[in-house]
Amino acid sequence: MNTIKQRTLFTFALLLLVASTWAVDKKKAVKSKVKNVTVFLNRAQVTNAARVYVPAGQTILIFEGLSTRLDKQSLQVSAEGNLTIMAVKHRINYLKNFTKAQRIKQLEDSITYLNDRIARVQVEKEVLMSEEQMILANQKIGGKQQGLSAQKLAEMAAFYRKRLSDIRFSVLRHNKALKKHKRRLEKLRIQRANESKNANKPTSEVMVTVSAKAALNAAFELNYIVMNAGWRPIYDLRAKDAKSPIQLSYKAEVFQNTGIDWNNVDITLSTGNPSQSGYKPNLNPWYVGFVRPRPRPAYKKTKRAERLYSEEVLDEDHRVKTNRQFAKKDRSKTIADFTKVVETTFSTKFDISLPYSIPSNGRPQLVEIAKHNMKTLYTHSAVPKLDKDAFLMAQLVEWEKFNLLSGKANIYFEGSFVGETFLNAKNTKDTMNISLGRDKRIVIDRKQIKDFTRKRFLGSNIKQTFGYEISVRNTKKENVTITIEEQIPVSKTNKITVELLEAEGAMVDKITGKVTWKITLKPQQTTRLALKYSVKYPKKQQIVFGG
């Protein structure tokens, strides 16, 4: 009887051991690699891929070493094979840190090598200095000996001189080497500190519970959104001369600090922004009513009270203006040769077919997207009232078909860097104006016509007249078309009357007061333009010109 009980207990213990072993085997750690990344203006969509052996039955696959910047709400898991995904769970593992990146290991190897070199140079320097001390000591002992011949003394002096010189020059070389190695060592340590910011951070894991009727090798993909990533556009505008079309290089500064390096992955840049809400705003009733006057204080108003009252009124006006503002707001081949542009309903995507690497350090990495030859019209423009130089302007025609975003642009003209500008893609016009710089070969001057500028009293009013002469000379060897911009003041009250007296050949915008001439000058030709206007106002008032 006891034997039967012992066998039963042994069998039960064996079954528990097998069951516990089976339970341990059913949890499996998986290493995945970043396969491709779609980088939005803010955030990025990452796809990790892995091939996993899945045994029969139910298994928990733990995909390790993922970014802690992962948005768990966006997580999607798919698999190819005869299995069923039962559950997906995300967690932060504070017990496992990111493994050191290859470049951090290389930096540490370089630091170790330099420490060895510094130690070796210091030992050699110490040996040389010991030898110098020994020679100096022997020199004193030798000097006490009597009966040395002159020849012997000369030989000893020559030996001391040569050897001491060799030693001291060697010490100088060793000091220079030490200084050089220490400077390099300090730079490597700073670089390692910057690169190691993510090394000690926790990792992210995705636990995927799967069920399979039979063992198989399955291909898994994890798709998710990560923070701390994005891109911004930057452009190079190059013009060979004032007759050639402008070549636009469309580039992107891609950055990410997700904690995971993207090594040799397929990169897609998207103009979409998943952080923006996709919900259409609704208009609430907008009421209008009378302003209720505030009761004035009964006590005598002091200067401080007047100031406080005016500040309250100004604050009320500020709130009204602010609300209105819120209501209104809403050649060798390059990477560009391997970029495919895909237009979707809500955004444009640039698929780069060559693998790319973006390290997780937050520093922008330049990626060239595309190159376009822009249809360009050249003209000159000047505002003599503010600046007497003429500016060469390039008008980009049909720019909107190139899917541009607003961003900084570097301008190159005739092989030289001209400066920077901002390319405004929210421009509603069919042409985009770009200033290419100052053209000193067009000479402009603006002078006041003193005989015409005067003040007169007309009954209860004062009438002031103003006159200016703008001279423009073309010193170039070809014809030049230039736009000259001037202005007259605009009255804000019916008590002030502004009258344009002379602006022959100009277009006048009565709302803004802008006066514009468009003229063509032959080589060595000079032309003169006249602007005259008057301002009439009550003589008991003073006028002020301003924006």
Per-residue pLDDT of the chain (547 residues; tens, 9 = 90+): 455 555 555 454 444 444 444 444 488 999 999 999 999 999 999 999 999 999 999 999 999 989 989 999 999 999 998 999 999 999 988 766 555 556 677 888 888 988 998 998 888 888 888 888 887 777 655 555 555 566 676 777 777 778 888 888 888 888 998 899 889 888 888 887 776 665 566 778 999 999 999 999 999 999 999 999 999 999 999 988 888 899 999 999 999 988 888 999 999 999 887 777 667 778 777 765 556 666 665 545 444 444 443 443 333 333 333 333 333 344 445 545 555 555 554 567 787 778 888 988 888 988 888 888 888 999 999 999 999 999 999 888 888 888 888 889 999 988 888 888 888 888 767 788 888 888 999 999 999 998 888 888 888 899 999 999 999 999 999 999 999 999 999 998 888 999 999 999 999 998 999 999 999 999 999 999 999 999 999 988 888 887 6
117 contacts: CB under 8 Å, gap ≥ 6: 181
Q: Are 421 and 434 in contact (CB under 8 A)?
A: yes
Question: How much is the pTM?
Answer: 0.60
Beta strands in 414-506 (DSSP E): 416-423, 431-439, 442-448, 454-458, 461-474, 480-487, 497-502
User: What span, in angstroms and rounded, lies between the C-alpha atoms of 233 and 253?
Assistant: 6
Q: What is the pLDDT of residue 13?
A: 47
Q: What is the pLDDT of residue 259?
A: 84
Q: What is the pLDDT of residue 321?
A: 38
Query: b or e along 195-218 (b: 16 or more beta carbons within 10 Å of the residue's beta carbon)?
Result: beebeeeebbbbebebebeeebeb
User: What span, in angstroms and rounded, lies between the C-alpha atoms of 413 and 68?
Assistant: 46
* β-sheet bridge partners, residue 84: 211
Q: With CA atoms as reference, report the closest residue to 380 among 432, 430, 420, 439.
A: 439
Residue at token pair 């050639």: 244
User: What span, in angstroms and rounded, lies between the C-alpha atoms of 474 and 215?
Assistant: 85
11 contacts: CB under 8 Å, gap ≥ 6: none
295 contacts: CB under 8 Å, gap ≥ 6: none
